[in-house]
Amino acid sequence: MRLADDKRQIVAAVSMFVEKEVRPVASALEHADRYPHELVLGMKDLGLFGSLIPEAYGGLGLDSTTYAMVIEELCRGWMSLAGVINSHTMAALIVLNHGTDEQRRRFLPRFARGEARGGLCLTEPHAGSDVQAIRTVARRRGDEYLITGTKMFVTNGREGNTFALLARTDAAADPPHKGMSCFIVEKGHPGLQVVKSIGKLGYKGVDTAELVFEELPVPAGNLVGGVEGRGFKQVMSGLETGRINIAARAVGVAQAAFDEAVRHARARPRATNAPPALANMATRLSAARLLTYWAAGMKDRGERCDLEAGMAKLYASEAAQEIAMEAMRVHGEAGALTRLDVERHYRDTPLMIIGEGTNEIQRLVIARNLLERYGERSGALASLEGLPDEKKQMVLAVRQFVEKEIVPTVHDSERAGRNPEEIVRKLGELGILGALVPPQYGGLGLDLTTYAMILEELARGWTTLAGIISGHLTVARLVAQSGTTEQRKRLLPTMARGDLMGSAALTGAVTARRSGRTWVLNGTVPAVDNASHAALFAVPARMERGRSAWFLVKRDLKGLTLSPPLDTLGARGLDTCELRLKAVRIPASPLAGDGAALVVAKLGIAATAVGLAEAAFEAALRYSQQRSAFGKPICHHQAIQLKLADMATAITTARLLTHRAAATQDAGEAGGLEAGMAKLYASEMACAVTLEAMRIHGGYGYTTEFPAERFYRDAPRLMLALGGPDAERLAMARHLRERA
């Protein structure tokens, strides 16, 4: 994520503040439940009370992305500090976005300076999720309103002085939200009493209070926007920002917990394995951050992002709680000692699951959004907005191809186990077989991000096809990047045309021994996709002294044999064979670029998993709208909505991880860790999502009449590829422990 210099400086200043001022005292203050007056002054000096307030009113005028980074940094030190700023900011935003000019001029500079310290009064003792059930009333009397009621869980309720409060101004309104109004309520009159500070599991130090209002007079000039009946919409409109903030909070706490776990793992003897949990934690943390910045980026571009902000909040908060728990587990019994920070992270994280709309409500909102916005559209979740035109056209062309050429025939082809040779030929005509081949050799020279998108589209139609293309292009990329000039000239043009098909023989036990000017290869690769149709194999082999490298092995070489196609659970038609090499002599040198080819292979698996899951999700979404039970479409049942929301969030997460891994490679960075994360998360996600899709289809999901059973069969291959998830986790954990 690139930030302008001034914004980067602000985030860096907050980061330094956290290291120098916050981290040394956070634990003691939190355990003592003491309000952090000094730190709040520090935040004031940094201008954070005016974070989202425009410069014209004396604020910093940050965008949502930078603000999310600021919140993340604060929470890396101590989550309670973000509470002080967040609730305040939400109150200020209500004035900024819905107040009259006069209200903006009167309140915003004071909010920005931190003189007016804001809070939100929505929840009441009997009503939180169901905001329309609030009972607090505001009765007009002359040029003021009298407010009566009780507000619960008000963050900054004791230390704050200026609250945005939702009350009923028309008790008879139907629906009730039309009779609700928002007021800016200031302290200083006996009609407003802080009756109780609420004790909490975590999030200590910051005050959460119960406020009672008894005929509190509020000037009519403090009715936000000056018109009654708009309050509900006004407070709800801030929810996108609120959710992004909660997601950012979760990312910050999760980062702190993860850092503690890595620190602990580093302190242990090198002889022991790094805890594999580190791999999951790192993946979830990265994914949470990606989702948060993604939603914030949409907000900054002025795009609608209620669904996306909800996904970010849902995913990041659940991830943070899991990461905090894993961090405790990594520490063993010591994890529960209060001298360590991890128990604090464990106490802090559930709040993000509950606050700003519980995650149950969040999922219902996501599901409703999915049904309204994407109900019948193919490619539902794969938004191509923001993609350069040329790439968008390419991906759309593949999507259309899939709809026209693959979807109508896939059912029969798959049942017959037919290799889609003819479709591959047509994809060749579209240029797809040369997607990663540089233009001077007749290819399209696409970057890996576009490649991932294309594979995803293909996999939406049929994973077999994605398997063929990704295997071929992995070899082409290897030749393009690591082959000799002669190899490039000889092989790439024919590969781009599809006259020469390649296949990557990824996980075998092959050895390479030097013999004069040739290399001699021996060993077996148990499963090579599209093997009987490929004429060129890229084979990784172990050489002397534990080194390994890739070799290009032509199909017609003496000593190379293929088994007949193996029967497989899914991806039928892929003609997966065992490859045996017995004293196969290769005259050319081995290729470098071992890691890079593996990264491309992992990307291919991740993108295929995303496409497969997307297909399963779309089928389930459609089915849930068409199938009725108990008198209504099943998509109106909550249990189904929760599933749809979780499926869509998981797919989106996997897609962001995959695109990030591709972009890392495109930027010329190593990207092994990112590709590992994408492959691990996406392949396991595909297994889970395809099962959920089957469940949503009920009994029909289990039959061969519906594609759900095919999706379910296709997923495990992706999870098991390249040594499977356990090996990936161990390798990632080792990398995470060892990197500086």
Residues 318-357 that bind ligand FAD (CB under 6 A): 351, 354-355, 357
- Of residues 88 and 660, the one with the C-beta less far from ligand FAD: 88
- Of residues 639 and 740, the one with the C-beta less far from ligand FAD: 639
The Cα 396–Cα 65 span in angstroms is: 29
For the CB of residue 80, give the shortest distance to ligand FAD in the complex, in Å: 10
- Site map 178..217 versus ligand FAD, x via CB under 6 A: ----------------------x--x----x---------
- 124 in catalytic set: no
- Of residues 158 and 299, the one with the C-beta less far from ligand FAD: 158
- Site map 108..147 versus ligand FAD, x via CB under 6 A: -----------xxxxx----xxx-----------------
434 contact partners, CB below 8 Å, separation of at least 6: 441, 442, 443, 444, 476, 492, 495, 496, 497
* Binds ligand FAD by CB under 6 A, chosen from 358, 409, 524, 625: 358
For the CB of residue 326, give the shortest distance to ligand FAD in the complex, in Å: 23
- Of residues 151 and 710, the one with the C-beta less far from ligand FAD: 151
Size of the site for ligand FAD (CB under 6 A): 23
For the CB of residue 359, give the shortest distance to ligand FAD in the complex, in Å: 7
What interhelical angle do 672-696 and 708-720 show, nearest 10?
160
360 near ligand FAD, judged by CB under 6 A: yes
CB 531 within 8 A of CB 575: yes
CB 282 within 8 A of CB 661: no
Residues 213-242 that bind ligand FAD (CB under 6 A): none
- Of residues 361 and 663, the one with the C-beta less far from ligand FAD: 361
Residues 33-52 that bind ligand FAD (CB under 6 A): none
* Binds ligand FAD by CB under 6 A, chosen from 29, 154, 468, 491: 154
Using DSSP's 3-state secondary structure scheme, residue 174 falls into coil
The beta strands (E) that lie in 239-353 are given as none
Residue labelled with tokens 């956070």: 26
Residues 383-412 that bind ligand FAD (CB under 6 A): none
Q: Does residue 332 come out as left (phi exceeding 0), alpha (psi in the -120 to 50 range) or beta?
A: left
The active-site residue, picked from 124, 240, 326, 356, is: 356
- Of residues 93 and 538, the one with the C-beta less far from ligand FAD: 93
Q: Does residue 427 come out as left (phi exceeding 0), alpha (psi in the -120 to 50 range) or beta?
A: alpha
C-beta atoms surrounding 171 within 10 Å: 10
198 contact partners, CB below 8 Å, separation of at least 6: 153, 208, 209, 210
For the CB of residue 539, give the shortest distance to ligand FAD in the complex, in Å: 53
Q: Prior bond to 175 cis, omega within 30?
A: yes
- Nearest in space to 599 (alpha carbons), one of 484, 728, 502: 728
For the CB of residue 200, give the shortest distance to ligand FAD in the complex, in Å: 5
Residues 56-115 that bind ligand FAD (CB under 6 A): 87
For the CB of residue 205, give the shortest distance to ligand FAD in the complex, in Å: 12
Residue labelled with tokens 């090579």: 528
Residues 501-540 that bind ligand FAD (CB under 6 A): none
The number of helices, as runs of H, and strands, as runs of E, in the chain is 24, 16
- Of residues 208 and 464, the one with the C-beta less far from ligand FAD: 208
159 near ligand FAD, judged by CB under 6 A: no
| Single-letter amino acid code for the residue at 470 | S
For the CB of residue 361, give the shortest distance to ligand FAD in the complex, in Å: 5
Q: How many residues does the chain have?
A: 740
Render 553-620 in DSSP notation, one character per residue: EETTSTTEEEPPPPP-SSSTTS--EEEEEEEEEE-SPPBS-HHHHHHHHHHHHHHHHHHHHHHHHHHH
- Of residues 363 and 679, the one with the C-beta less far from ligand FAD: 363
- 3-class SS shares of the chain: helix, strand, coil, % to 5: 60, 15, 25
Catalytic site positions: 356
Question: Which residues here bind ligand FAD, judged by CB under 6 A?
Answer: 87, 119-123, 128-130, 153-155, 200, 203, 208, 351, 354-355, 357-358, 360-361, 364
